[in-house]
Amino acid sequence: MNRRDDADLPWLAERERPGPVLRKGAGMTPLAWFDPRGRALGSFAFALNRITALGLVLYLYLHLGVLSLLLRGEDAWGDFLRLATTGAFLGLDVLLLFGLLFHGLNGIRVTLVGSGVVPERQRALFWAFTVVGVLALTAGAVRIVGGG
């Protein structure tokens, strides 16, 4: 975002009031987080964190739906397993693992930075966790696709 002169910002008095920070002043538009172009690394991580979050919520309900097949017995579950062990589905499992790893590791990073444990090291943490995540994703993908 471009830097603006403070005098240009509307609702400055509103910003100064104590209390919860609602939408004070001219911030980003409601869906701006979805567009990380031209933003800093932290904004990119924030956007990807939310995208993976929404994907994981969708997966949670898909997962409950799939697990409902267990209620229909062994044959229904066996049919699902035949489908779920195809290459395309195993690829989706790897995508799920990516979402979990990114969301989880970024959550640790945000917690460490936000809680003041390492407030000045958010970029270093991002790259360190990226390395950890890539290693874990590679090992997981080999295990999932390789079938043990």
SS3 117: coil
State which residue, 53 or 95, has the beta carbon closest to other proteins: 53
What whole-number distance in Å separates Cα of residue 133 and Cα of residue 106? 10
Site residues (vs other proteins, CB under 8 A) = 23, 30-31, 33, 50, 53-54, 56-57, 60-61, 64, 67-68, 70-71, 73-74, 77-78, 81, 84-85, 89-90, 93, 97, 100, 104, 107-108, 111, 140, 143-144, 147-148
CA 127 to chain centre: 16
Q: Least distance (Å) from other proteins to the CB of residue 130? A: 17
State which residue, 9 or 57, has the beta carbon closest to other proteins: 57
CB 137, CB 124: distance < 8 Å? no
State which residue, 48 or 53, has the beta carbon closest to other proteins: 53
Two tokens, residue 114: 């936000």
Q: Least distance (Å) from other proteins to the CB of residue 49? A: 9
Side chain identity, residue 127: W
Number of helices (H) and strands (E), helices first, in the chain?
5, 0
Q: Least distance (Å) from other proteins to the CB of residue 34? A: 10
